[in-house]
Structure 1
Amino acid sequence: MVNLILKDILIQKNMLIIYIATIILYLLVSVSPVFIVFVYSIVFIMNAFSSDEKDNANILLNSLPYTRKEIVSSKYIGAFIFTGLFMCYTYLLDFLLNGQEVLVLWKEILLIMGLVMIAMSFILPISYQFKTKHLAIVSVTLFGIYMVMVNYFVPDFNNQVRALVQKFMAVQELQLYLIATVIIIILYTGSWLLSIRIYERKAF
């Protein structure tokens, strides 16, 4: 399974310069690191997923000594790894560019991981059932709406996101975090099992 995760990283090595450049641009205009890590983690995971749909790659994957359960599981486990890597990279760049302290609170880690897990809980089963090109169209559309909204309707949107994150960080009740964590884990596990079932029933 480790090789499957490494595969997802290697197939995007040519995209790394684009990731680096655009993350730097976002940080220079003071976009929240939480937002950056969330978006880029999703983009990275979905780019890796879409590559498996090209040129009958799924047929090749299923001819290798991996079970379908392992192929699906590599995506769900990889989501944690990719998010962690983007988190480290983004906060390090934020320190170098803006002089912000490289201090990631456990609440911030929970927030980012929770957002990614919630998003992937819905995206991955849909992608296994259908094609990622439909999600790509939706993603491009949402990005376009975001750019229009930020430039014309809600110019302080990034500040509002940052304020929302700060409110989350200010919550002191550990029970709320515990309940939210359990709910997200249950959702993610259910999505994981659903994706395995969908993929195992597919014919390539």
Structure 2
Amino acid sequence: MVNLILKDVLIQKKLILIYIATIILYLFIDVSLVKIGFLYSMAFITQTFAYDEKDNANILLNSLPYTRKEIVSSKYIGSLVYTSLIIFITSIGDFFLNGKEVLFLWKDILLIIGLVMVTLSFILPIFYKFKTQSLMIAVGALFGIYILIIKFLSPSLNATLRESIQKFMTLQETQMYFVAILTIIILYVGSWLLSIRIYARKVF
């Protein structure tokens, strides 16, 4: 499984240089470290799926001595590894450019990892069920539906969401982190199991 994770890193070794260069550019213009960490982590992870769809890579993967469960698990574990790599690159770049003694605050790191895990919990099963191009169409369609709901069916939806978030934020800090971390872990593991089931039934 470690080799599958390393495979995704090595495939993108040239892109990593582009990631580093553009991260430095964003650091120069003082873009939030959390935004950089989240967006580049997602870019790295989604790119691994794009490469797997090229040249029948999935057929090759299934001819190797790995079970389908291991192939899916490598993506879920690897995604956390890639996110950690992006956080490390961003924090080092920020240290050298801005000379900050404290790099990422631990809350920022938890926030990035949490956002990545929640997002992946929804999109990874879709990646395994459909192609990345289909996912982009689905995301566009869902966004359009969301806009229509806000405009015509439930104009107060945004206010309701904000109110729910504010209620959550009023919890004691320890309670808030415990509830958030537990919810994210359950969501991620559930998504992981669903993806294994989808991929096990897939025909290449």
**CA deviation vs aligned residue, 1:157-195 (integer Å, no higher than 9, x gap):** xxxxxxxxxxx8xx8611110000000000000000010
Change beyond 3 A, Cα 1:136–1:9 = farther
Aligned length: 177
Which sits farther off after the overlay, 21-30 or 92-101?
92-101
Tell me if 1:6 matches 2:42. no
Q: How does 1:77-88 map to 2 (within 5 A)?
A: 77-88=77-88
Is the contact made by 2:94 and 2:103 (CA closer than 8 Å) also made in structure 1? no
Q: Distance in 1 between matches of 2:176 and 2:200?
A: 36
Q: How does 1:49-60 map to 2 (within 5 A)?
A: 49-60=49-60
How far has the Cα of 1:135 moved from its partner? 3.5
Q: Residue 190 of structure 1 aligns with which residue?
A: 190
TM-score, scaled relative to structure 2: 0.81
How far has the Cα of 1:106 moved from its partner? 2.4
Which sits farther off after the overlay, 72-81 or 98-107?
98-107
Q: Distance in 2 between matches of 1:96 and 1:132?
A: 36
How far has the Cα of 1:98 moved from its partner? 1.8
RMSD: 2.2
Is the contact made by 1:34 and 1:112 (CA closer than 8 Å) also made in structure 2? yes
Q: Distance in 1 between matches of 2:139 and 2:93?
A: 25
Unaligned runs of 5+ in 2: 141-168
How far has the Cα of 1:136 moved from its partner? 4.8
Structure with the greater alpha carbon radius of gyration: 2
Unaligned runs of 5+ in 1: 141-167
Tell me if 1:133 matches 2:133. yes
Q: Return the letter of the residue paired with 2:12.
A: Q
Q: Distance in 2 between matches of 1:185 and 1:101?
A: 31
Q: Residue 31 of structure 2 aligns with which residue?
A: 31
Is the contact made by 1:41 and 1:86 (CA closer than 8 Å) also made in structure 2? yes
Is the contact made by 1:91 and 1:102 (CA closer than 8 Å) also made in structure 2? no
TM-score, scaled relative to structure 1: 0.81
Change beyond 3 A, Cα 1:135–1:97 = farther
Is the contact made by 2:95 and 2:103 (CA closer than 8 Å) also made in structure 1? no
**CA deviation vs aligned residue, 1:141-161 (integer Å, no higher than 9, x gap):** xxxxxxxxxxxxxxxxxxxxx
Change beyond 3 A, Cα 1:182–1:126 = same
